[in-house]
Amino acid sequence: MLAWIARGLRQGTVTTAYPRRPEPAPRGYRGTVEVLAQRGRAPDELAALCPTGAIAVDGAGRVSVDRGRCILCGACVAAAPDRFAFAARHETAARSRAALVVPEGTDDELEPLSQTLAEQARALRRSIHVRHIDCGSDGAEEWEIQALWNPYYDIQRLGFFLTAAPRHADILLVTGPVTRAMREPLERTWEVMPAPKALIAVGTDACSGGLSGSGPLSAGGVDAVLPVDVYVAGSPPSPIAIMHALLLATGRLRPEVAT
Amino acid sequence: MRARRRHPPEATSGLPDYLPEHLQAQREPAPPDELRLVLAPLAFERGVRLLRGAGARFITLLLAELPQPSLLAALALRGDLVVLRAPTGGAQPVRYGSIGAQWPAARWAEQELVEREGVAPIGFEADRRLTLPDADLIDRRLAGLDVFALPYGPVRSGVFEAIQFLIETGGENMPALQTRPFFKHRGMESRFAGLTPDAAVCVAERVAGIASVAYACAFSHAVERALGVAPSASAERWRAVHAELERIACHLDVIAKQAETTALSVGQARFQILKEQVMRMRARLSGSRFARGVICPGGVRCDGAVELDELLATVDALERDLRRDRRLFTATASMTDRLIGSGRVPRTLVEEYSAVGPLARGSGVSTDARHERPYGDYQRLGVRVVTWPEGDAMARINVRFGELVESLRLLRGSIDQLRRQNGELCAPLPRSRSGSAFGWVEAPQGELVIWVEIRRGILGNVHIASPSLRNWALFDHAFPKDVLTDFAFIEHSFGLTPAGADR
């Protein structure tokens, strides 16, 4: 056992300083798709580039991307590099679905939606218990959520704890488009959680259904079943993005970080 | 993939001599390493039975549309993929002698076909619905007042994917267990239809997210084999690099979870650190922590911002750390005591269920698609298959440790070649060709096989035979002498992903 301790100490500290200091994404990281400055009227065919219908061209020929639908496949960036580009950033969470649509969307609700939860967080001295439920993800989101408790992200330093009991939980992380068999377990889990509580849709599948869309097999996103407080776009979102969402849900981000 | 002609072209009319003599089947042309045999639907079950007798391993059963509506069975035999094809002539429902009734390995695959496609195998009996599970259904197998049934899942404790286990227990031991997959069924296979292969690779990547590269590679191989395209050697090397990094991440994840279940916190942290380092290297290589968007039919799309020397330095550092951590891990008695003897899966059971991957190799069955039917860069690299004979959770962890070392060796081999020669990366696909083929890879969870049909450049049926589903069929029998508290150890030692199984 002593050997393990020595081994652990030799490593030194690897933990990120986020959110005290921003965590830059590596060069070339596919964090989000940006719409480059609108140059002239966009052809309607641009919308057909996207396998999940995230690209829209309005009557005036302006292009927008719905990050809540975007699976970051890069088809649009490859086909129209003059209009779309990947941005290397981690923070992809927003408090409303509309705020995920760029360039129009704005997340200007400065008052956090879960004000009560933020008050509770203060009362609990920043001790927030998190529960996760998988409603049909591809499995990658689970890895990124688990990573929050690894030494690199160590979200316990910010007072977030994982709990197995929904009755003990303050925040529910939901992944996947909500498959038919998981709809009822999801509703039951949410019902037994005590108020105040917040729900975070983790990943593009949970935000909009992603590739599964909505149909007999999939509800097409968590908000088709339950009210969502924070949406995290990404396929899958990085651990920093999920951390960003947890901080947003508890109203703990300083404005300069929450841009 | 470069064609390895093991059967000379003139032999297409005859059959290889390892096939059973009485197998009355016609051979038809097929992509390399695929042996397609045509027989009548009513002779189908007999054909599969004869091949099983000859030592074949079951892979999957499916309904195909190309080259004509048929029932297909894919089996692995002596380094070949043997495909039995029975033309159905559009008959509804498709009738043939049940395979799953005799061979447990085929049971779930057949039940899926019965429930989804309405085939009618003669002699098949289902005990409960497989593909649309009911979380509240408690169908006990055991009677008695002192045995209670405990449904575990689909909402799990901790951050785990949704699956349910119905555990019947008297308190300690588990005389009966039912694994219930398909809570996560999203209909991913039907999502391929109507897309071009280039556009569809993003669907393949999202079937099982933790094995994105494996799914994208297997899909791309199938497309390339169906259309007769060969990716360049450099592209195959990049694929091997990404596939081995993915395997390393998956194996480290299993080992870290195993450490977590024994509350070996420092050990858990150590393996999590190594895994995160690999994930970050993958993000820098490809722009995605899961290397999505790299593999495409025809080659790779790669403009990695990482110098190969730097990648090599990461491999060296990983190997150094891994060697020390492995030594500590395997010498920590509080850890190994829980694993040795737990969840013993005898070799006979592995063969009966045609299990694959680290699970099979931990029971002494040497099966690895990279070795059995080598593809891409593995033809040149040559894979040393790691097996352990004991069949317990410790053996499965030891297999993973061994494979980590082997993966690092393979990585070095591919990187060395890439440093010497880094040529063209993506071959264009012919736009209007048609064809059908199987593609395969050894995913971190085991052999993954994908069937694709392409009609004039557009995808039709796609069928995925995932290692997770095939191995989970055996999970019910992995608790001969184990108690309830061993459950988490044994589940983690299987290292499977419900997303891949449920599709």
Among B132, B155, B328, the residue to mutate for chain A (most A Cβ within 10 A):
B155
Q: Residue-wise over B98-121: b if at least 16 C-beta within 10 A, else e?
A: bbbbebbbbbbbbbbbbebeebeb
Segment among A76-90, B198-212, B242-256 with least mean pLDDT? A76-90
Residue B1: per-residue pLDDT: 43
Q: How far apart are CA B238 and CA A145, in angstroms?
A: 28
Are B290 and A236 a contacting pair at CB < 8 A? yes
Nearest to A217 among B134, B187, B499 (CB): B187
CATH of B188-295+305-502, one of 3.10.105.10, 3.90.1150.10, 1.10.287.370, 1.10.645.10: 1.10.645.10
A207 φ/ψ angles, rounded to the nearest 5 degrees? -75, -40
Best CATH choice for the domain A115-249 from the list 3.90.1150.10, 3.90.550.10, 3.40.50.12280, 3.40.50.300: 3.40.50.12280
pLDDT of B405 above 60: yes
For residue B241, count other CB atoms closer than 10 A to its CB: 29
How far apart CA B76 and CA B82 sit, in angstroms, is 6
Domain boundaries, chain B: 9-122, 148-180, 188-295+305-502
Buried b (16+ CB within 10 A) or exposed e, B343-375: bbbeeebbbbbbbbbbbbbbbebebbbbebbbb
% of chain A residues with pLDDT over 90: 25
Q: Distance (Å, rounded) from C-alpha B213 to C-alpha B240?
A: 10
- Residues, chain A, total? 259
Q: Kindly report, residue by residue over B242-295, the tens digit of the pLDDT.
A: 999 999 999 999 999 988 888 788 888 889 999 999 999 999 888 899 999 899
- B159 to chain A, minimum CA–CA distance in Å? 6
> B180 pLDDT exceeds 50?
yes
- Closest to B466 in 3D by CA, of B477, B451, B484, B488: B451
ipTM of the complex model? 0.88
State the best of B160, B180, B186, B318 to mutate against chain A, taking most chain A CBs within 10 Å.
Answer: B186
Tokens of A55: 């690209």
| Tokens standing for residue A122 | 């203060």
pLDDT, residue B8, reads 45
CB within 8 Å of chain A, chain B residues 436-455: none
pLDDT confidence of residue B117: 85
Q: Which of B428, B459, B414 is closest to B226 using CA atoms?
A: B459
The shortest C-alpha distance from A198 to chain B (Å) reads: 17
| Burial profile B440-456: b = 16 or more Cβ within 10 angstroms, e = fewer | bbbbbbbbbbbbbbbee
The residue behind tokens 């439920």 is A133
Q: pLDDT tens for residues A220-254?
A: 899 899 988 889 999 899 999 999 998 888 877 75
List the 125-164 stretch of B: residues with Cβ below 8 A of A: 132-135, 154-162
Which of the four pLDDT bands, split at 50, 70 and 90, describes residue A124?
low
Q: Worst-scoring range by mean pLDDT, A22-31, A157-166, A247-256, B117-126?
A: A247-256
Q: Which residues of B touch A210 (CB under 8 A)?
A: 206
Give the dihedral of Cα atoms A45, B188, B253, A243; nearest 10 deg.
50
8 Å CB contact of B187 and A145: no
Nearest residue to B101 via CA among B93, B109, B89:
B109
Beta bridge partners of B120: B95
Kindly list the residues from chain A whose CB atom is less than 8 angstroms away from the CB atom of residue B288: 29-30, 72
Task: Give the Cα separation of B272 and B253 in Å (integer).
Answer: 7
Give the model's pLDDT for residue B464: 94
Average pLDDT, whole number, for chain A? Answer: 84
The model's confidence at residue A115, banded by pLDDT at 50, 70 and 90, is low
As a whole number of angstroms, the distance between CA B200 and CA A211 comes to 11
Query: In chain A, which among 119-138 make CB contacts under 8 A with chain B?
Result: 132-138
Q: Which residue has the higher pLDDT, B456 or A258?
A: B456
Interchain CB contact of A166 with B (< 8 Å): yes
CB A245, CB A230: distance < 8 Å: yes
A164-209: per-residue pLDDT in tens? Answer: 888 888 899 999 999 998 999 999 999 999 878 889 999 999 999 8
pTM comes to: 0.91
Round to the nearest angstrom and report the end-to-end CA distance of chain B.
Answer: 26
Integer CA distances (angstroms), B101 to A154, B23, B108, B125, in order: 50, 20, 10, 7
Interface probe with B: pick from A4, A13, A188, most Cβ of B within 10 Å? A4
A129-133, B198-202, B481-485: the lowest-pLDDT one = B481-485
- pLDDT at A47 exceeding the cut of 80: yes
- Residue B270 touches chain A, beta carbons under 8 Å: yes
Domain ranges of chain A: 115-249
**At residue B442, does pLDDT exceed 60?**
yes
Q: Is A85 helix (H, G, I), strand (E, B) or coil?
A: strand
What does the pLDDT read at residue B12?
Answer: 44
Per-residue pLDDT, B303: 61
Candidates A199, A178, A239; CA nearest to B155 is A178
Instruction: Please state the rounded mean pLDDT for residues B49-77.
Output: 89
Cβ neighbours of B305 in A, within 8 Å: 26-28
Q: B9-122 adopts what CATH topology? A: Beta Polymerase; domain 2 (3.30.460)
d(CA B224, CA B439): 8
Which H or E run includes A101?
strand A101-102
Residues 279 to 298 of B: which have CB under 8 A from any A CB?
279-280, 283-284, 287-290, 292-293
